[in-house]
């Protein structure tokens, strides 16, 4: 057992931490709020190869481990990156897994930087893909409709949606513009695995968001005085932060274990990804809520950064759905495993 990132992984974390500090300061996050997308940040991320990391060599990438991708996603969440890192990586991995001419063509243009390809988490309803992550800025959306995996170019057929988390989501009409990538059980299972990837990366991002929220709250309550003492000396405040910090550290261990299991214990990978996502959603929500509340009235002001975290901690994971949905998904995996083990 070794719970520290390896030397190489620590270099990766340091490099991305520096990149995000420069390209995703809270000033930059605020400047990108209207569109939810920061093209400068996305360009830098693409330049350093976040998509190549996500797919194997045979698909034109470097095949980094899920642990590596998770560590990068932690930094993404910590700095509230206004860029489609998670959905673009999940989509690229899906395309690589599906293979075939159509999917390979889309992946090639994604890796070349010609097309921003994203993933729809839910099937279409009445011909519309609702709240597609980064759907407002993507060039292509991969989606599952029944047992058919397809890709659609959303330009000219999308409605940008203003959301709690100021994300570049859009409702996308499919009409007759979709290109089929795969069909049948393979299509279903490929999309399902893409959901595992998305949930795991989102869980990691939520860890970063939750940790930073705790730090901001702790910094504030050490300084702020009330009744002649720092408010952090009151148990009512200190204990709320202690609970939230414990949950966030737990969510980090769980997300990192889930990422590790993708390589080391694949029978549990899907279950752990869903558990990490569900628990991470709750922990990040609790951490950002506590932290915002302990800022008192200042926390309610747009000027203070904690509100940026509070809104995204709820909105980012809600693109999939509430934590209970993912808990149920994980429990079904567990029961399946018990059944097949006899």
Partner 1 sequence: MDFSLGERSDAFRAEARQFLDEVFTDEMREEMHRTGVRHNWDFHRALIERGWLAPGWPVEFGGQGRDPMEMLAFAEEFQRAGAPTYGVGTTLMVANIIRHVGSEEQKRSILPRALGGEIIIVLGFTEPESGSDVAAAQTRAVRDGDEWIINGQKMFTTNAQEADYAFMLTRTNPEAPKHRGLTTFLVPLRQPGVEIQPVFTLSGERTNLTFYSDVRVDDSLRIGEVDGGWDVMAVSLTLERAGAQGGESIRMLAAMERWATSAVDGEGRPRSEDPDVLARLGKAAAENEISTLLARRTAWVHVSGGMPGVEGSMAKLFASEALTRQSADFVDMLGPDGIRSAGEPSSIEDGAADYAFRFALGATTYGGTSEIQRTIIAQRGLGLPRG
List residues near partner 1 by CB under 8 A.
1-6, 9, 67, 214, 218, 221-222, 229-230, 232-235, 238-239, 241-243, 245-247, 249-251, 253-254, 256-257, 260-261, 264, 271-272, 274-276, 278-279, 323-332, 334-335, 338-339
User: Hey, what are 5's tokens?
Assistant: 């990132």
> What whole-number distance in Å separates Cα of residue 247 and Cα of residue 158?
38
Nearer to partner 1, 82 or 252 (CB): 252
Minimum Å gap between C-beta 123 and partner 1 is 18
Half-sphere exposure of 299 (CA within 13 A, CB side): 19
Nearer to partner 1, 260 or 298 (CB): 260
Minimum Å gap between C-beta 230 and partner 1 is 5
Minimum Å gap between C-beta 29 and partner 1 is 25
Minimum Å gap between C-beta 117 and partner 1 is 29
Minimum Å gap between C-beta 75 and partner 1 is 16
Q: SS3 for 157? A: coil
Minimum Å gap between C-beta 177 and partner 1 is 34
User: Hey, what are 231's tokens?
Assistant: 């408010």
Q: How many residues does the chain have?
A: 342
Nearer to partner 1, 12 or 169 (CB): 12
User: Hey, what are 313's tokens?
Assistant: 């901690």
Which H or E run includes 242?
helix 235-264
Nearer to partner 1, 15 or 301 (CB): 15
Nearer to partner 1, 198 or 277 (CB): 277
Partners of 150 in the beta sheet? 143, 180
Minimum Å gap between C-beta 263 and partner 1 is 10
> What whole-number distance in Å separates Cα of residue 174 and Cα of residue 180?
12
Nearer to partner 1, 5 or 60 (CB): 5
Which H or E run includes 151?
strand 148-152
Instruction: Write the DSSP assignment of 94-109 as a string of letters.
Output: HHHHH-HHHHHHHHHH
Nearer to partner 1, 173 or 218 (CB): 218
Report the candidate in 285, 268, 256, 238 with the shortest Cα–Cα distance to residue 333. 268
Structural contact between residues 228 and 98, judged by C-beta atoms closer than 8 angstroms: no
Minimum Å gap between C-beta 77 and partner 1 is 18
Minimum Å gap between C-beta 161 and partner 1 is 27
Nearer to partner 1, 186 or 318 (CB): 318
Structural contact between residues 128 and 172, judged by C-beta atoms closer than 8 angstroms: yes
Which H or E run includes 117?
strand 117-119
> What whole-number distance in Å separates Cα of residue 336 and Cα of residue 332?
6
Nearer to partner 1, 67 or 134 (CB): 67
Q: In what order do the strands lie in the sheet with 117-119?
A: 117-119, 140-145, 148-152, 179-183
């Amino acid at each position: 057992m070794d719970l520290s990132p390896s030397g190489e992984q620590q270099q990766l974390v340091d490099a991305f931490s520096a990149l995000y500090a420069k390209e995703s300061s809270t000033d930059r996050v605020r400047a990108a709020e209207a569109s939810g997308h920061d093209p400068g940040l996305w360009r830098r991320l693409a330049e350093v190869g976040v998509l190549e990391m996500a797919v194997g060599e045979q698909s034109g990438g470097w095949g980094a481990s899920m642990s590596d991708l998770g560590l990068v996603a932690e930094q993404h969440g910590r700095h509230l990156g206004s860029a489609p890192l998670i959905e673009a990586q999940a989509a690229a991995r899906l395309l690589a897994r599906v293979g075939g001419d159509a999917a390979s063509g889309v992946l090639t243009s994604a890796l070349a930087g010609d097309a921003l390809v994203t993933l729809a988490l839910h099937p279409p309803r009445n011909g519309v893909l609702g709240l597609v992550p980064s759907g407002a800025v993507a060039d292509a959306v991969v989606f599952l409709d029944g047992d058919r995996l397809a890709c659609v170019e959303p330009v000219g057929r999308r409605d940008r949606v203003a959301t709690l988390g100021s994300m570049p989501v859009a409702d996308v009409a499919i009409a007759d513009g979709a290109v089929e990538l795969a069909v049948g059980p393979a299509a279903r299972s490929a999309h399902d695995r893409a959901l595992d990837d998305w949930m795991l990366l989102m869980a990691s991002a939520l860890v970063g968001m939750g940790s930073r929220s705790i730090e901001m709250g702790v910094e504030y309550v050490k300084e702020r005085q009330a009744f002649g003492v720092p408010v952090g000396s009151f148990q009512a405040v200190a204990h709320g932060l202690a609970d939230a910090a414990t949950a966030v550290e737990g969510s980090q261990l769980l997300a990192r274990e889930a990422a590790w299991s993708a390589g080391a214990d694949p029978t549990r990978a899907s279950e752990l990804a869903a558990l990490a996502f569900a628990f991470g959603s709750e922990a990040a929500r609790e951490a950002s809520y506590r932290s915002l509340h302990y800022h008192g009235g200042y926390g309610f002001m747009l000027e203070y950064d904690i509100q940026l975290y509070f809104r995204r901690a709820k909105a980012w994971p809600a693109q999939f759905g509430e934590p209970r949905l993912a808990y149920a998904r994980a429990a079904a995996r567990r029961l399946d495993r018990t059944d097949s083990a006899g």
